[in-house]
């Protein structure tokens, strides 16, 4: 590919050396190289014009493509390879370099998308024999750690008794929901799917129930996989308190207005996952927690606190219903963070400054 020819300075009132170059189109950035970089190939400029005129991409998108292709031109120049001769090995080397320079996986993926678009167009035009970016992927971004409450905050939320003047029926229900979410590590869908009493349709429809005598919750998780989860004393007490008042607004448990669900709304219908989210967020705010709490955060808190106390990763996997232990292992990173904080706060060698 030939190098792009330099632009002629426009005529005007200013001397030629002082006259600014005209923009290629309104809103576009100059296509010249960054300081010290090689100029863009004419075929690249044709592609950018195609993207702007025929594909009608936004000016900002074309600008970003331009910057990405300048980066490709610089890499190719340093590698001593023309754009037409780039191979997947070159692209992988460029990706490794960007990653080593600290660019994240998402940013690299966006750059690769821009390069891939150019080579797809060039292949259709017969300018290159293949697309060297095809099949090259950006490094995977590290999976973010799940957010968990500290033990004190989790207990504070579980023991919150409501505000003065609050509806005692709602308080009993919401307290039981918090205890099951935090005490059993249930997913919000599993909680919403619990029936008050197991009936003929409960298992057939993939719903769960709580056996108070056996102190065990039977839930159907992902893939309709059934698992049993122990229910602690605090959760059992909260559930019994809720079941004692659950049917009162509807005239009794046999009321046609009352759904079979364990947790119902004020009209007797099964609570939705969205309603549980909303009630939990409101309750956490009333309890004075500064962190917005959602149901899955309590599941993460259950797993993290249990692992901190027991160290038994396999047991936590079973309680959470994870099919693969690698899914559960993310909590070991949370556990290490906790241990590191304890060490930093308590160990004299951690607190002592070097040379102090």
Which has the minimum average pLDDT: 52-61, 183-192, 316-325? 316-325
33 or 325, greater pLDDT: 325
Nearest to 238 by CA among 257, 210, 214: 210
Verify whether residue 187 is a known catalytic residue.
yes
Which range of 27-31, 183-187, 325-329 scores highest in mean pLDDT? It is 183-187
Verify whether residue 3 is a known catalytic residue.
no
> In sequence order, which residues have a C-beta less than 8 Å from that of residue 162 and are 6 or more positions away?
168, 171, 175, 286
231-263: pLDDT as tens digits: 999 999 999 999 999 999 888 777 778 888 999
Q: Considering 124, 140, 175, which residue would you say is the last residue of a domain?
A: 124
CATH classification of the domain holding 205:
1.10.443.10
Do the domain assignments include residue 35?
no
How far is residue 35 from each of residues 64, 69, 74, 241, 254, measured CA to CA in Å?
17, 15, 11, 72, 79
Q: Note the pLDDT of residue 351.
A: 52
Verify whether residue 322 is a known catalytic residue.
yes
Which listed residue (97, 124, 222, 347) is catalytic? 222
Report, as an integer, the average pLDDT of 201-217: 83
Verify whether residue 65 is a known catalytic residue.
no
Residue 29: pLDDT over 60:
no
Please count the residues of the chain: 356
Nearest to 115 by CA among 131, 126, 100, 130: 131
- Rounded Cα distance between 260 and 271, Å, is 11
CATH classification of the domain holding 109:
1.10.150
Which listed residue (71, 103, 296, 333) is catalytic? 296
Q: Note the pLDDT of residue 17.
A: 32
Q: Are residues 110 and 187 in the same domain?
A: no
Q: Are residues 78 and 206 in the same domain?
A: no
Q: Are residues 238 and 284 in the same domain?
A: yes
Q: Note the pLDDT of residue 131.
A: 96
Q: Considering 107, 124, 141, which residue would you say is the last residue of a domain?
A: 124
pLDDT tier at 195, thresholds 50, 70, 90: very high
Which has the minimum average pLDDT: 68-77, 140-149, 216-225? 140-149
Residue 168: pLDDT over 90:
yes
Residue 143: pLDDT over 90:
no
How many domains would you assign to the chain? 2
Name 216's bridge partners.
Answer: 211, 230
Residue 96: pLDDT over 90:
yes
Residue 287: pLDDT over 80:
yes
Residue 333: pLDDT over 70:
no
Do the domain assignments include residue 146?
no
Q: Are residues 118 and 220 in the same domain?
A: no
Do 129 and 96 meet the contact criterion of CB atoms below 8 Å apart?
Answer: no
Do the domain assignments include residue 353?
no
Which listed residue (246, 299, 300, 305) is catalytic? 299
| pLDDT, mean over the chain | 82
Q: Are residues 239 and 324 in the same domain?
A: yes
Q: Note the pLDDT of residue 348.
A: 54
Structural domain boundaries, residue 100: 42-124
Which listed residue (52, 90, 173, 187) is catalytic? 187
Which listed residue (52, 218, 283, 322) is catalytic? 322
Q: Note the pLDDT of residue 34.
A: 55
337 or 312, greater pLDDT: 312
pLDDT tier at 315, thresholds 50, 70, 90: confident
Q: What percent of the chain has pLDDT over 90?
A: 51
Report, as an integer, the average pLDDT of 44-64: 94
């Amino acid at each position: 590919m030939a190098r792009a020819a330099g632009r002629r300075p426009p005529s005007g009132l200013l001397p030629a050396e002082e006259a600014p170059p005209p923009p290629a189109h309104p809103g576009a950035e100059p296509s010249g190289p960054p300081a010290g970089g090689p100029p863009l190939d004419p075929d690249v400029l044709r592609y950018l014009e195609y993207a702007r005129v025929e594909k009608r991409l936004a000016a900002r998108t074309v600008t970003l493509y331009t910057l990405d292709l300048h980066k490709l031109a610089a890499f190719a120049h340093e590698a001593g390879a023309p754009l037409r001769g780039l191979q997947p090995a070159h692209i992988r080397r460029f990706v490794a370099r960007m990653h080593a320079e600290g660019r994240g996986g998402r940013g690299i993926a966006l750059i690769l998308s821009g390069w891939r678009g150019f080579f797809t167009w060039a292949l259709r035009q017969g300018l290159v024999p293949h697309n060297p970016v095809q099949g090259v992927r950006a490094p995977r971004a590290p999976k973010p750690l799940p957010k968990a409450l500290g033990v004190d905050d989790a207990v504070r939320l579980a023991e919150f008794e409501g505000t003065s003047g609050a509806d005692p029926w709602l308080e009993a229900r919401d307290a039981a929901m918090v205890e099951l979410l935090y005490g059993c590590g249930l997913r919000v869908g599993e909680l919403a799917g619990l029936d008050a009493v197991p009936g003929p349709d409960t298992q057939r429809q993939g719903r769960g129930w709580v056996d108070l005598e056996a102190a065990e919750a039977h839930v159907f998780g992902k893939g309709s996989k059934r698992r049993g989860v122990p229910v602690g004393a605090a959760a059992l007490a909260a559930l019994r308190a809720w079941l004692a008042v659950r049917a009162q607004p509807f005239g009794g448990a046999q009321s046609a207005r009352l759904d079979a669900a364990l947790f119902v709304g004020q009209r007797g219908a099964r609570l939705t996952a969205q309603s549980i989210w909303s009630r939990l967020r409101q309750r956490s705010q009333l309890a004075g927690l500064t962190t917005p709490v959602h149901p899955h955060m309590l599941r993460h808190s259950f797993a993290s606190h249990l692992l901190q106390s027991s160290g038994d990763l396999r047991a936590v996997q079973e309680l959470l219903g994870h099919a693969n232990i690698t899914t559960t292992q993310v909590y070991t990173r949370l556990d290490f963070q906790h241990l590191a904080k304890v060490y930093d706060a308590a160990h004299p060698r951690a607190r002592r400054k070097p040379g102090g």
